[in-house]
Amino acid sequence: MVRILIVVAASVFLGACASVRREPVNPVIAGWYADPEGVVFDGVVWMYPTRSRPYDQQQGFDAFSSTDLVRWERHEDILDRGTFLWIRRACWAPSVVKRDGRYYFFFAANDIQKDGEEGATGGIGVGVGDSPTGPFRDLLGKPLLSEFHHGAQPIDQFVFRDADGAWYMFYGGWGHCVMARLRDDFTGFEPLPTGETFREITPGGYVEGPFVFVRRGVYYFMWSEGGWTGPDYRVAYAMGTSVHGPWTRMGTILEQDPSVATGAGHHSVVNVGGAGAEDYRIVYHRRPLGETKAEHRVVCVDRLEFDEEGRIVPVKMTPRVK
């Protein structure tokens, strides 16, 4: 197994990109992948998707890195499986952050169906590593979160650091979204300002896949709606003034285009502008036309733009380039 880590300063990243085409060719990586999180570490764009395979074959993750959004380097098997003894199947939807020089890899595993299900430990786990490719070792020796709160299946976590340094986790499947504040060492949770440890924040239409980012002081809370196996999978969003809301639903910004692809959803947003500039991209999966198998999803990248009032302009999916 070969691992390649490219680390450059943001200025070098921008300089390199100026001399090459920066418009990705969709899908940007080969193979069936889904639920991608995009993130920039030290000027390099990293992408962490789900291996889109039958559940029992989803027992690990690959990462991808790029300095131009066009050429992507694959880094295989980034989990140290010898330390995650509780993983059985259904490893989904990574969220990766950097804290104090180390990298933390959050993900869901085992597709648990209820609390205390016999022989079915699972939920949201966290690994730690010294680089964006790990290898990520189990931080706790067990899931970080293995219980249901407010009806939310413990999957699809997104980890967000607010301006004051506090870390939050947004997560939840089965039509419920929950937010919680992480301890600074990521070993558990602490109460929110409301006194709750787990607060339900489910917006209308929510199914799964929450994501939060901030632009020009405005908070954007995003999620996926519809059925993940069907053509109507899509992304909607709300706007707010803080990580705690209140949130105002704004509408749908990514959905199927019968001339391009269907089932477009479970996304992330990454600003590749660097050095205070803005160049936002939406990283998401979609289903190629004619594909009907649930696992047949591909990862794509398109521009994310805003109007003068900060609202997100509906995304135009770029077609596959043959």
Tell me if residue 208 is catalytic: yes
Residue 184 is a catalytic residue: no
Rg from Cα positions in the chain? 18
Q: Is the peptide bond before 319 cis (omega within 30 degrees of 0)?
A: no
Torsion angle, CA of 296/79/222/287, rounded to 10 degrees? Answer: -10
Residue 97 CB contacts under 8 Å (≥ 6 apart), including other chains? 39, 103, 104, 106, 159, 161, 167
Cite the beta strand spans of the chain per DSSP E.
Answer: 33-41, 44-51, 63-66, 73-75, 92-99, 102-109, 123-129, 137-138, 158-161, 167-171, 178-182, 189-190, 199-200, 208-215, 218-225, 234-240, 248-254, 261-271, 280-288, 298-303
Instruction: Considering the candidates 37, 62, 68, 208, report the single residue annotated as catalytic.
Output: 208
Active site residues: 35, 208
